[in-house]
Amino acid sequence: MPKLSVIVPFYNVQQYAPDTLRSLRLNADRDFEFILVDDHSKDETPAILERAAEDLSDVAQVRYIRHEQNGGLATARNTGLDAAQGEYLTFLDGDDWLAPGYFAELVSAMDDLGCDFVRTDHVQATARARSVSRVPIGRRWEVFSPREAILPAHRSTSVDYAYAWAGAYHRRLVDKGLLHFTDGLRTAEDRPWIWKLHREAESFAVVSLLGVFYRRGVASSLTQIGDVRQLDFIRAFDQVIEETAADRDADLLLPKAVRTYCAIIAHHLSNEDRFEPAVARQLRSMSAAAIKRMPQDALADALEAMDMDRSSKLRRLRRRVTTTGAAA
């Protein structure tokens, strides 16, 4: 069994893949397994990965898997999870990169702490600018319950820091069915995943390691493209609401889930100019329907607590639903 499996999905990232792969080499160990998943790229990414798989095989265990059709990030990560054999698992996106020696420190943290998973800070890279993004938890190098890190509802918490690659995860989470993503989600795939992890895992810790460089503003990134795939955030958060409503602590946790969902809808409405016109109309329609599905008491509290600009946008959608329903 490898000590660490690293799952790296790639899709049309020929410009950035060489940096990613060089950073893997600088983190390589014969006890590490690199799983390179090409999600049916249409550029030169597959050729780059084929060469890299051969080159890296002298310093680490390497598997290269190519999808016959594009399935999205969630599906590509699941392919890697199904193939992974390591005691610990982590992720990296195909356009990001690592500091040298980071994985050795990550494995050491997992060994020392003995918990289900650890979360780490990371560096955001926008062109030449660098900034540190930290897990919104003050307790460091201390094992405690993931449930404790979901609340309070009115503050940013660990479930809002949803980056799957910012941490490492014990294999027992795979065995419990907690590490796979909702297949086919094109965006917000980390959101149901992080909520499930915090509701159902038994232990975690936050460690002050800075090793992942997250590349922001990539033109080919889905977060920069205003097409219909962006609307998968609604399916993702519907799943969060549905699963949280079935939790034993639903009364405590649902206000946080609803408030986060509302904030994400308001964010997209504030930036709807970047969507194609037909998609913008679909965004408003689907968001109105999502508001109607939410627990209405929790929704009312969330709107009351939000700032005027965001709450006004959501109240207009809510009135649209009410008016439409009355007319029917």
The matching CATH number, chosen from 3.90.550.10, 2.60.34.10, 1.20.1440.120, 3.40.50.720, for 4-215 is 3.90.550.10
The answer, yes or no, to whether residue 320 has pLDDT greater than 80, is no
Please give the structure tokens belonging to residue 219.
Answer: 């033109």
pLDDT at 217: 81
What does the pLDDT average to over 45-62? 97
Please give the structure tokens belonging to residue 195.
Answer: 């909520």
The answer, yes or no, to whether residue 225 has pLDDT greater than 60, is no
pLDDT at 319: 84
Please give the structure tokens belonging to residue 128.
Answer: 């030449």
Taking a C-beta distance cutoff of 8 angstroms, is the pair 103, 89 a contact? no
On average, the pLDDT of the chain sits at 94
- Each residue of 247-273: pLDDT tens digit? 999 999 999 999 999 999 999 999 999
DSSP labels for 17-86? HHHHHHHHHTT--TTEEEEEEE---SSSHHHHHHHHHHHHTTTSEEEEEE-SS---HHHHHHHHHHH---
The answer, yes or no, to whether residue 218 has pLDDT greater than 70, is no
Q: How confident is the model at residue 309 (pLDDT cuts 50, 70, 90)?
A: very high
Residue 54, number of CB atoms within 10 A of its CB:
11
Q: What is the pTM of this model?
A: 0.93
The answer, yes or no, to whether residue 236 has pLDDT greater than 90, is yes
Domain ranges of the chain: 4-215, 228-326
Q: Which amino acid is at 309?
A: D
| % of the chain at pLDDT higher than 70 | 95
- From residue 324, alpha-carbon distances to 285, 297, 299, 315 in Å are 12, 20, 19, 14
Please give the structure tokens belonging to residue 216.
Answer: 């922001």
E strand or H helix at 9: strand 4-10
pLDDT at 127: 92
What does the pLDDT average to over 95-120? 98
- Each residue of 175-192: pLDDT tens digit? 999 999 999 999 999 999
